[in-house]
Structure 1
Amino acid sequence: MALPDQTVPFAAKGYAWLPDLRRRFHGRPIPMRLGGMRAVAISGPDAARFFYDERHLERRTALPEPVVSTLFGKGVHTLDDEAHKARKALFVALLMHEDGIDTLAALTGKVFDEAADGWRGGDAVSLFDETAKVLADAVTRWTGVPEDAFDRDALTADLVAMVDGFATAGPRHFRARAARRRQEKHFARLIEDARSRPPADTALSRVAHHTENGSLLDARTAAVELINIIRPTTAVTWFVTFAGHALDRWPAGRARLRAGDDEFTTAFVHELRRFYPFAPFLGARAREDLTFQRVGIPKGTMVLLDVYGQHHDPRVWPEPYEFRPERFLGRPVGAFELIPQGGGDPRTGHRCPGEQVTIAVLSTLVQRLAKLDYYLPPQDTSIDLGRIPARVRGDLEIVVP
């Protein structure tokens, strides 16, 4: 039987596509074609466990070329098995030490405070645009990139473009490709310059001098991996803007954020990452003939893990379309329940090792945003679920008196 191709429905519906389709299939795995490829869509904690079992699936050939050429580059995200573990160790060492995370979060807060001083008494500013500048400035300083190495506004624009264009075939996609080519060349020169100096205790130097199988990474690959630290941090911009949206729609939590309630802040951050749309789904490819929930998955089939659908599934999250940070108070977060940056163990698997950086930086900025005296002028603050990645229309303008 010919499988229906879902390319057009996906393009039309965006984030709502898989959840709508899965409701029609009563939550069962859905065989289909997407972009002409055989695929099957799955969702739920058991599906996430299946998806992140490396005996079942591989990522090396699964990422579409347009996503590699915009969002990820040809680095750790395109590796599997021992090669992935060896490269992943570099990111774990750089990103998962508490001192480094705390240092980046504190630096981000300082840069945000300096920027907010400049917003006071002026015209409306875009929270999205200004936060992107703050994050790009903070993370490049933290990685040891010399301040005179870049035009910071141009770098910020390129980092945002890489994220903003990964899931579209239009002008945003071509801007993203151009941005990645431009910055990979620029960062490769920076890597070569760092190799001309003795190793130092910075992310830039450690990536530049990182060896695998006794050899340095080629400069372009090292550049990709350095960007893979800087670009995801800049992507926190989306969630800071969503935080502004949440504080406007559900202001009840503002007082606890203002008071510096760290437990509530962490819960608020988790709820932001669950409730608001970023990654619609993730993909991997079957290594061999498989079966999941009595549905056959032939070798080579693309397996789609419905992230947005899982985060809005009432079987996993009661009242999923309500923004309720309290759902995360007093309970552990399961490794396969909340999966905005993947599932499983970030140290050894394909879950993003920068997730703790995202949580720490976002927590810092959410508290500062709650404490900031500002108001929203009249504007459209709707979110178009047909656009991937979704953004608040108008990028949330604020006025700081």
Structure 2
Amino acid sequence: MSSAATIPQARGPDHTAAFLCEGYHYAPRRFEQMNTDAFTTRIMLRPVTCVRGPEAVEMFYEAGRMTRRGAMPSTVVALLQDKGSVQTLDGHAHRVRKEMFLDMMDAMRLDEARRLFREEWRAAVSGWQGREIVLDEELDVMMTRLAMRWCGIDPATQDVERRATELATMYRAAGKLGPAYLRARALRRRSERWARHLVRDARAQAKASGVLGTLAGHRDADGALMSEEVAAVELLNVLRPIVAVGRYVLFAAHAMHLHGAGDAGEEADRAFAEEVRRLYPFFPMIGGRVLEPFDWHGARFDRGDWLLLDLHGTNHDPSAWSKPEAFRPERHLGFVSQPEAMVPQGGGSYLQNHRCPGEWLSVAILTEAVSQLRLSDRSVPEQDLSLPASEFPPVPREGLRMSVAPPAPSGPA
């Protein structure tokens, strides 16, 4: 970035340790301390500009301006995307691959995801009745079954618990280092071998349906089938995020316990789900490397410069949200015209930018989860419900223990 920049610089030679320690609070604290929506610092000894807010989102997602390549630590990319995924592509190659994912998100497929969640949730609740469960521990298997079914994979033919461990560990360990990260990489490699086997069988039999069939038969911008390895990576990049939506389901249960269920109904359920996505911490930041030089806030950004957009900070930006720390689902009722302020899974155009194509799926599943949570007869015993800011994404320290009431006794014959 040009030395003539007017963007303030945070004190200290390097802020890697501060970011890991403070987590989601790291950037917002410095925005407030310096009374700014942008500051420069060093993370991993590399110069970076941290930004937040609707104006920064608009700048960051200008078409053709940024690339994801080299913008996030390789340890994170290896667990959450890996080589050859849609998030590593740019230009025409990215658009062709992204169109494939967006085609999966039509209304019928979203409705199917809601139906599958409803079936899996009710089956799980029937097994929880009359005992105390740790919701965080129960959701991974349930969401893995949902993900498999939505992708055209029969859970009855799979080792669901093994796959649940692999898929959940990928997103749970993305912000970790040391033995936890190494274990997650080993589990990811095991999961990729399984996914390659599924793709290979789908191509050999030429009869796979759903997401698996789409990935097996997709042709990229060059007209060639994706390699078996890349198709497997993309299959995991559908399965894993669906399992990760389980963390939003846990957050919805957390919010309903703390703030009450509020009004019922489809629109109210959707608004509750959206406020969970806005308020609760999930993705802390998203990185970008400049492709085309530009000027912003009096600074010149050159090719290769590194920026971090604070997604969680933008969702809590006091200039965009009234009382941003309050849980208010009514914010999302009716027409809401502030897409650059609501970026829990990134911003920009779904086709032109790297915005998560599964965002609609996340909202659909979470809306159904809110509806089902309202119907569940449960209680939450006294426990530590705090969310550690340095975990990405966090979970209540006790995993959210809850007791599910036993079925009501049947009447006299």
Same fold (TM over 0.5): yes
Find the counterpart in structure 2 of residue 117 from structure 1.
126
Q: What CA distance in whole angstroms lies between the structure 2 residues aligned with 1:299 and 1:149? A: 49
> Can you list the C-alpha shifts for 1:162-183, whole angstroms capped at 9, x where unaligned?
0001112133322321221111
Q: Verify the 8 A CA contact 1:242 1:392 in the aligned structure 2.
A: no
Q: How many residues align?
A: 394
1:158 aligned residue: 166
What letter corresponds to residue 201 of structure 1 in structure 2?
S
* Aligned position for 1:256: 263
Q: Residue 323 of structure 1 corresponds to which residue in structure 2? A: 327
Alpha-carbon shift at residue 72 of structure 1 (Å): 1.6
Equivalent residue number for residue 109 of structure 2: 100
Alpha-carbon displacement from aligned partner over 1:247-295 (angstroms, at most 9, x marks no partner): 11101xx2523xxx11111111111011000111110001243322112
In 2, Cα distance between equivalents of 1:348 and 1:323 = 32
1:346 partnered with 2:355: no
1:187 paired residue number: 195
Conservation of the 8 A alpha-carbon contact between 2:275 and 2:328 = yes
5+ residue gaps, structure 2: 4-8, 406-413
Equivalent position of 2:397 in the other structure:
393
Decide which of 220, 226, 232 is 1:217's aligned counterpart: 226
Letter in 2 for 1:256: D
More moved, 220-229 vs 340-349: 340-349
Indicate whether 1:84 and 2:94 are aligned.
yes
| Matching residue of 1:228 | 237
Partner Cα separation in structure 2 for residue 136 and residue 219 of structure 1: 22
TM-score normalised to the size of structure 2? 0.92
1:361 to 361, 365, 368: 365
Cα displacement string for residues 225-262 of structure 1 (whole angstroms, at most 9, x for unaligned residues): 011111111111111111111111101xx2523xxx11
For 1:349 and 1:90, how far apart are their aligned partners in 2?
Answer: 14
2:215 aligned to which of 203, 207, 213: 207
Work out which of the residue numbers 13, 18, 23 in structure 2 matches 1:14.
23
Change (3 A) 1:225 1:333: farther
Match of 1:38 among 15, 22, 47: 47
Distance 2:13 2:320 in 1: 28
| Secondary structure of the corresponding residue to residue 235 of structure 1 | helix
User: Partner letter of residue 70 of structure 2?
Assistant: T
Name the CA distance, whole Å, in 1 between partners of 2:20 and 2:334: 39
**1:361-390 CA distances to partner (integer Å, 9 max, x unpaired)?**
011111111210011122211111122221
Q: Is the 8 A contact 2:281 2:312 kept in 1?
A: yes
Alpha-carbon distance in 2 for matches of 1:49, 1:363: 27
| CA distance in structure 1 between the aligned counterparts of 2:119 and 2:351, rounded to whole angstroms | 29
Deviation, structure 1 residue 90: 1.2
> Which residue of 2 is the match for residue 305 of structure 1?
309
Shift of 1:19: 0.4
> Which residue does 1:169 correspond to in 2?
177
Q: Is the 8 A contact 1:61 1:78 kept in 2?
A: no
Q: Deviations over 1:102-148 (max 9, x none)?
A: 011101111110110010112x1111222222111011012111335
Contact in 2 for aligned 1:199/1:206 (Cα 8 Å): no
Secondary structure of the residue aligned to 1:389 is coil
Q: Contact 2:202 / 2:208 at 8 angstroms: preserved in 1?
A: no
Identity of aligned residues (%): 34
Query: Aligned equivalents of 1:294 and 1:264: distance in 2?
Result: 43
Against the structure 1 CA distance between its residues 147 and 238, is the aligned structure 2 distance closer, same or farther, given a 3 Å change threshold? Answer: closer
Question: What is the rounded CA distance, in whole Å, between the counterparts of 2:59 and 2:73 in structure 1?
Answer: 21
Deviation for aligned residue 1:4: 3.1
Going from structure 1 to structure 2, the CA distance change for 1:28 and 1:276 (only over 3 Å counts) comes to: closer
Which ranges of structure 1 fall in alignment gaps of 5 or more residues? none
Could you tell which deviates more after superposition, 293-302 or 70-79?
293-302
Structure 1 residue 338: deviation in Å?
0.5
TM-score by length of 1: 0.94
Q: Distance in 2 between matches of 1:334 and 1:312?
A: 13
Change over 3 Å in CA distance of 1:255–1:297 after alignment to 2: closer
1:333–1:393: structure 2 CA closer, same or farther, 3 Å change rule?
A: farther
